[in-house]
Structure 1
């Protein structure tokens, strides 16, 4: 293994191609640089520089040594930082899973605030849908879930708190047959048309889908954004988060329909695993207790405005 000083010497020789220029850059005598180089070559029993040309050039062995020594040096620096980080109570990484009902863009200001802490904690953010969100937490594929729907499951060691209430609107494209249908719409009218749903990402079960009736044809899509687009295109019908499509409703790109049986708001939850609460998780849980932030996350961004 090379010391920091030896790595600097090797890199100065490679970049300058000259003992004299390398020595000047390092503030050393050329004889000192030459001696140190011979010591390194003796230690590894290898010729590291080709001295036959006017300009010094690394041999294949020298290239390997410089490259790997620099990599190992960087790895050790990262390891030292990570050890200090964990010793101060910060996690090495925080894995956050958001339900597809939440828009990632609404989290960006929170991530920026977290970055300002300069904690060194790496963030990983992924999406799940319906049962897949809670499942990710129970299976260790998440340290924190945001926006999970339905009642929290009875998994051992899972803790949770409410994030807020999400309201829904049943909406169709203006050219869809239901757009001009008399209200309120009943279950039979709904079942006669294909429902657009976001597919459950659960890996344990076949998953669930909401907002459609028994026997109703469905178009299952990977995201709420895709569902909104499909309904605007007239490819199906269904319930949409009211706040996220407010401008589409105002412009008439979607038509709200009054239903005989309205859909109750969904309670969204924050969940985490008990016993693994480092400083990063504690910071996120504190922020996710702020009413204004919770409201922004639940309502999402009206990107169509």
Structure 2
């Protein structure tokens, strides 16, 4: 463990490794009384939260995590971002305790509690420079639309049946990983499709995007907060209460929701 010379004594690599672990053990022992007290009060040791890509906002996630860490310093937190049925998939089949933005307003399981958040409205938009922006037809038919690529975000579900947001038979599909990329593809004139009303509103007002009527418009998407009843401790209940009481801390997650239920 030690290297001795005539003038000094130093640790070997094994000694340094042991010293580091001893420090970790001492820190763990120092924190153990408070950690045990938290567990006895019904506070979970680990909380995993999945967020719908439509509602995910980095600052909102950071604000929630900061608040949670301050309230529950001995609880470990993990956040995941998923798309469409991937949110339900994570909650039902993975080790996630709460989901922000599951699709629908009804639970897929008797063991899952649900709190409706509201609906996201959609607009069919294209770049001002796109050929369809000046098309003479007042309502664009499917035959007209399928000539141009649809920009879509792929459903991340692994167990549940995946959904396709919007794609016509015979139409080329270009898949992107998130809403920001989808928006950029629309703005560049690469393809066509639907975007959340609130997201595209400033670009429509500036003239960068053009809204067109289509034969088959996309219906609003209801979203909810969902959590596992059996695994709900103090932290999960506290997060659900933030949404139920309309706490300002969760406002960032509702930026895309234009018809809120809560």
Q: Give TM-score scaled by structure 1 length.
A: 0.74
- Is 1:84 matched up with 2:41? no
Q: Which residue does the alignment assign to 2:199?
A: 244
Q: Secondary structure at the match of 1:116?
A: helix
> In 2 relative to 1, CA 205–253 (structure 1 residues): closer, same or farther, beyond 3 Å?
same
Aligned pairs for 1:280-291 within 5 A: 280-291=235-246
Select 1:116's aligned residue among 63, 66, 70. Answer: 70
Q: Which residue does the alignment assign to 1:54?
A: 7
Aligned pairs for 1:1-305 within 5 A: 48=2, 50=4, 52-59=5-12, 62-105=15-58, 106-152=60-106, 154-181=108-135, 182-205=137-160, 207-291=162-246, 293=248, 296-300=252-256
Q: Distance in 1 between matches of 2:25 and 2:247?
A: 46
> In 2 relative to 1, CA 127–117 (structure 1 residues): closer, same or farther, beyond 3 Å?
same
Structure 1 position 240, deviation (Å): 0.2
> What whole-Å deviation, never above 9, does each CA across 1:167-188 have from its counterpart, x for those lacking one?
1111001121111113222232
Q: Distance in 1 between matches of 2:17 and 2:223?
A: 54
> In 2 relative to 1, CA 177–66 (structure 1 residues): closer, same or farther, beyond 3 Å?
same
Q: Distance in 2 between matches of 1:60 and 1:204?
A: 47
Q: Which residue does the alignment assign to 2:260?
A: none
Q: Secondary structure at the match of 2:37?
A: helix
Q: Secondary structure at the match of 1:288?
A: helix
Higher strand share: 2
Q: Distance in 1 between matches of 2:14 and 2:251?
A: 60
Q: Distance in 1 between matches of 2:15 and 2:64?
A: 46
Structure 1 position 77, deviation (Å): 3.7
Higher relative contact order (CA 8 A, sep 6+): 2
> In 2 relative to 1, CA 283–256 (structure 1 residues): closer, same or farther, beyond 3 Å?
same
Q: Distance in 2 between matches of 1:203 and 1:252?
A: 39
Question: Does structure 2 retain, via aligned residues, the 8 Å contact 1:167–1:264?
Answer: yes
Structure 1 position 283, deviation (Å): 0.9
Q: Which has the larger radius of gyration?
A: 1
Q: Which runs of 5+ in 2 are unaligned?
A: 258-262
Q: Give TM-score scaled by structure 2 length.
A: 0.85
> What whole-Å deviation, never above 9, does each CA across 1:136-156 have from its counterpart, x for those lacking one?
111133111111223545334
User: What CA RMSD, in Å, does the superposition of the two structures yield over aligned residues?
Assistant: 2.5
Q: Distance in 2 between matches of 1:149 and 1:179?
A: 31
> In 2 relative to 1, CA 123–270 (structure 1 residues): closer, same or farther, beyond 3 Å?
same
Question: Does structure 2 retain, via aligned residues, the 8 Å contact 1:164–1:295?
Answer: no
How many residues align structurally? 254
